[in-house]
Structure 1
């Protein structure tokens, strides 16, 4: 089993002028089946409220691509046909991140391949 790390482009949703085109930012998606086979990590960039690395259940991310779900301080929901939103709550505020669904699906596929037992 090996670590899966994937970089994805995402948009940080803010309360700035809605006409402004939010720039995409690099986000690191990481899965380590040896350390925590049920969780994935999301590494957010820059000066955002709250922690920059979040750990969430892998199933939460997967289920949130089809319907709104939440667990603790994290919410995930589909946004139209091609995007998904992940919302992180902390004492410092809320970070709302919008991903392309295909990037998250690609990452999830890779995590399940990495966690699959090797046939001998």
Structure 2
């Protein structure tokens, strides 16, 4: 099944000086990788001037819309009634973005219309991952 959900999202990058800078992102989900969501940032929004994609669990996004979630490179939590914080950590630094919660919820609902929660084909995901890890095709 090769179904992809894409949605543009306007976020606000919080700078070290506590200013909010507008940043465009594309939220992406594919039925071929049903456990993950992707956030694509254009080159102009990235530290090194190259497009950047962050990948994390769809369940993390779901949980983070309701309460603080995540302990590693991606952490998500509600910020007031209308916004959600998505914090990304990398060896190059940290980025804290504010997204409209309604935009993230709308995207999440659309992903569940493609693959319902609990209906993800985990066996296929594991098989592809092992194949990639061990050099299979």
| Number of residue-to-residue matches in the alignment | 112
Q: CA deviation at 1:26?
A: 1.0
| SS of residue matched to 1:104 | helix
Whole-angstrom distance in 1 between the partners of 2:34 and 2:112: 10
Whole-angstrom distance in 2 between the partners of 1:12 and 1:30: 19
2:95 aligned with 1:95: yes
Q: CA deviation at 1:43?
A: 1.1
Ranges in structure 1 where 5+ consecutive residues have no aligned partner: none
| SS of residue matched to 2:62 | helix
C-alpha distance after superposition, 1:43-76 (max 9, x if no partner)? 1232337x82100000100100111011431100
Contact 1:48 1:95 (8 Å CA) reproduced: no
Ranges in structure 2 where 5+ consecutive residues have no aligned partner: 120-137
- Tell me which of the two structures has the higher relative contact order, counting C-alpha pairs closer than 8 angstroms and 6 or more residues apart: 1
Q: How does 1:43-54 map to 2 (within 5 A)?
A: 43-45=40-42, 46-48=45-47, 52-54=52-54
2:39 pairs with one of 38, 42, 46: 42
Q: TM-score, normalised to structure 2's length? A: 0.75
